[in-house]
Structure 1
């Protein structure tokens, strides 16, 4: 590996709201060496400071509009006015174009959640932001915050599953169902988790995603074991 190549590089972003062009950091793929991945897809890297999740958000230094690649370029009627009055007019300039810590990344994801809410982004986009906040808080070992955002993840994915446009992103229906089940399992809601894992297995012929079906089977058995243990401890 060429020692002169920096792990982080600048990518130019044009703000969807105010059209300002600004740099944001991204990680070169050769430096993102995964070590292990949790059952909800939280990935740990050989060098954690080069976790790509830290740099998925783009924060405009001029107006504060914060987005990801999953945001739609379209603004529903009235949302630009809401964004201007509730975000842009109150924004104090912050620079996130440098290397980010976990805390920096959390701040940017919360800005993205606020922006997405004002912009009325699809529930599946909002759920993805919440899920990444779950991962970031897990890496900081902040369990209460992790659980808080896990509940928000579940709510948004449940809403996304009921929306007919859920196919418009890389998140297929089976993956959404699986993540709802896995989040519920981690929250200790075992019966509900089993229900969602079962739905994945039952719909295996609807969407071709054998990896997700296999994960759902594994977690279905794991949840059953968790239920047995919980019952034995309660006796």
Structure 2
């Protein structure tokens, strides 16, 4: 019997050029999460795969990049915009094999650009920026981590105000917590306090006690930091 390997091929058809291609995905048994950071960034065990490397699908023929979270709907004229801004300048490149961290970063930037041109939901674009932020953090590139954290915060805030997160896996409580936590990380203390307060106010009707506790923990940390700064 052949030994099971971590990566397998998944087939996709590009919605722009209709080319069929395969790209690697990670088998779940080869993923082991040790813990999560305060913004839900997973810390993977050594010797196990990071599935975020293979989160984005890139058409090797035309460059259109997408994830399984993208909708199948294209607003009128959008395909032509993607063809003009991405495909016409694309040099054929295959991201369908084993990826380095740099290649993974490239795919997320391509997908974020595609998502923006496609007018995908803010919650979808935010998730791409968030994963970029996590990859840069694992690479200890603080400047780029902060750059994409701010972009993620902007998109999450837009998603909250427009309500486009509804019907996705991201609950209102989780979204409010994330806005608070990303605001805290970039030093927007008042915004952080406001959103953590909204989370805590919902503790009686919440079915996500873990997120309520996380908001309380961040709130307490901020109070302690402010007390230490003023003493």
The answer to whether TM tops 0.5 is yes
Q: Distance in 2 between matches of 1:226 and 1:24?
A: 46
Q: Which 4+ runs in 1 deviate beyond 6 A?
A: none
In 2, distance between residues paired with 1:14 and 1:112?
16
Query: Does the 8 Å CA contact 1:66/1:112 hold for their aligned counterparts?
Result: yes
- Is there any run of 5+ residues in structure 2 with no aligned partner, and where? none
Q: How does 1:159-174 map to 2 (within 5 A)?
A: 159-174=158-173
Between 150-159 and 213-222, report the one with greater CA deviation: 213-222
> What is the rounded CA distance, in whole Å, between the counterparts of 1:49 and 1:59 in structure 2?
23
CA separation of 1:21 and 1:49: change in aligned 2, threshold 3 A? farther
Contact map agreement 1:49 1:101 (CA 8 A) in 2: no
- Provide the rounded CA distance (Å) in 2 between the counterparts of 1:48 and 1:153: 29
Q: Match for residue 220 of structure 1?
A: 219
Residue 206 of structure 1 deviates from its aligned partner by 5.5
Inter-CA distance 139–3: structure 2 relative to 1 (3 Å threshold):
farther
In 2, Cα distance between the equivalents of 1:198 and 1:47? Answer: 37
Pairs within 5 Å for 1:73-92: 73-92=72-91
- Residue number in structure 2 paired with 1:176: 175
C-alpha separation between the residues in 1 aligned to 2:52 and 2:195?
Answer: 26
- Residue 193 of structure 1 contacts residue 223 of structure 1 at CA under 8 Å; is this kept in 2? no
Counterparts in 2 of 1:180 and 1:164: CA distance versus 1, 3 Å: closer
1:194/1:224 contact within 8 Å kept: no
The Cα offsets for residues 101-160 of structure 1, whole Å up to 9 and x where unpaired, read as 111111000000100011001111110011001100001101011111111111110000
Instruction: Give the TM-score, by structure 1 length.
Output: 0.93
Distance 1:82 1:14 in 2: 19
How much does 1:165 deviate? 2.8
User: In the alignment, does 2:26 pair up with 1:55?
Assistant: no
How does 1:3-82 map onto structure 2 within 5 Å? 4-47=3-46, 50-82=49-81
Q: 1:106 matched to which residue of 2?
A: 105
Is the 8 Å Cα contact of residues 122 and 164 (structure 2) preserved in structure 1?
no
Contact 1:55-1:105 within 8 A present in 2 as well: yes
> What RMSD over aligned residues (CA atoms) do the two structures have, in Å?
1.6
Following TM superposition, by how much is the alpha carbon of 1:191 offset from its aligned partner in structure 2, in angstroms? 2.5
The Cα shift of 1:49 comes to: 6.2
Q: Which moved more, 1:209-218 or 1:137-146?
A: 209-218
The 3 A distance-change label for structure 1 pair 79 and 98 is: same
Structure 1 unmatched runs, 5+: none
Match of 1:186 in 2: 185
Deviation string, structure 1 residues 51-94 (Cα, Å, up to 9, x no partner): 11111100000111100111010001121111111011111111
Q: 199-208 or 170-179, which moves further after superposition?
A: 199-208
Q: In the aligned structure 1, how far is the partner of 2:163 from the partner of 2:222?
A: 29
Counterpart of 2:166 in 1: which secondary structure? helix
TM-score, with normalisation over the residues of structure 2? 0.94
